Structure 1
Amino acid sequence: MRGPLRLTTTRESALSTVATILPLAASGDDSGFHAPSIAEFFPDPIFFAGTPFEINRIILVRLFTTVVLVTIFVIGARRAKVVPGRFQNVLEMGLDFVRVNIAEEILGHNARRFVPLLTTIFFSILFFNITGVIPFLNIATTALIGMPIVLALWVYVTYLWAGVSKFGVGGYLKNSLFPPGLPAFLYVLVTPIEALQVFLFRPATLALRLTANMISGHLILVLCFSATQFFLFEAGGALKAASLLSLGAGIAFTLFEILVAALQAYIFTLLSAAYLNMAVEEEH
């Protein structure tokens, strides 16, 4: 996990640095740089304002992304051939990646029953993450906690159901909360920790990790490109040259965000497979 942790540290450092420097550069100018705020993740409603069915820009991006994702796989399924073309090859490579490198690698002989779940989670998160770098969409819809919570709860309910189905309620609790091979007196300490991990920490960390990474990525991109606009059109003198630096940083972080979008989809799916494996294995 050193790689993902290093990426997260890099993002946090960059966000902190840019957020500190740019407002100082614009100080004293009412029309200058304005740093993005958390309000960007709560846009004004567009349809059905004030009702439980309120739709804002983020919801519209989610709906659009869902239609695109479903359309791609429907077309791929309908045009499937024995000798695949490029489009089918790309889809099959993605499906095989989830099936072989995640499901079978982690779950072994239990993989087949969970492949549909893991495949749906992987491609959903990948597509919802990648909208953060697509022009005119410009926000990862997983940056709002609701969707990561839904996906994490889906995994949570599934691994509880899988464990209870195999071992029964008592057997699953024993298998999960009382690791074998420990002296009896240690269960006083270990069992409460295991209970928190099984019933709280696993789903919570799945949702929070995904959301935090997408929020930080969006803020970094907005800071870089807002700075470019400020330096180029509003700053005076030599500061205009700084627009090249902020633009270059924005392009670099855009490429970096594409990597993070794929990485977070992989990590979420990998951890989901690991939790499912813990639920159905005799010892873990």
Structure 2
Amino acid sequence: MHENDYQNIFMPELWQHLTFDQRVAALQVLENDHASQSGREPYQIKPMEMPDISHGGQMVAAEKLIVINAAHIQNPTYEYVALYTVLHEGRHAYQRAAIEKEGFHPDHEQVRSWKENAVFYIPSSEQMYIPYRIQPLERDANAYAKVEVDKIVSRLEQAYGKNDIFQQYASHMESETRMVDIAAREKFGDDYIAFMDHTIHKGYQVTRGIDEKKSYKISVRFEETEWSSKCVEVAASGKHQLRESLTREARGFVFSEATRLGIAPAGIQQAQSRVEPIPIAQDLERGKAFEKGRE
């Protein structure tokens, strides 16, 4: 018997006849196989009822579990979503092993980015879905799961022919990936991966107290004008230096805006200004916040 023969069970014609428990057992064999190939400890597959059908699952390192949406196992048309979830979350288990064991993963720079991302991780939410998808840990887990699902299906299709369920799944995944790419480019620019990696690195440094440089929003308004704003990064070793730096930035912005708008000296004296700290998470919601300039 070929070492990958267990994957035959993932043909839709066979999968749809399995009981729920048999499907869980097949997914556990998949996890055990990939854990063995990558040199890590296998995690237990645990189905769980979830309120949202779009939620795939999660890796729970403390309990060595891969929790998977039970609805994806119950519904035969979600077969490849279930496979993808197991492989995706299993990759997170691999990433954790790489972070904890020096030399476990050959790319040291990638491990560094995973470690920083593990400290400064962006959870999935409606507002932060794009940053969540393009952060280092998720980029890698998504890429790994896609490649491995494609390998399984390619082998099955060579043996048994094309299957419509996978084609529908693949079409959906391609559309999702394209949507994320377009949205990320619109929000963060064409080099959005470098931007995200820089943001994660900065967030890690601030979280660990390595770098006290932070972002601030400076806003100014003159009589009969709307507020205009720009974002700046300021590094200071103490409150006095920080206040001086922000005052200098605010004063400069008042004069530059007065020049742009043609405000007379008397109008400058009546200007209103304000300075607000910008959390890193808000930077991501706003887009390329680290670039200086008016909003």
Same fold (TM over 0.5): no
TM-score norm. by structure 2 comes to 0.28
Structure with the higher fraction of residues in strand conformation? 2
TM-score norm. by structure 1 comes to 0.29
Q: Which has the higher contact order (CA 8 A, sep 6+)?
A: 1
- Computing the radius of gyration from Cα coordinates, the structure with the larger value is 2
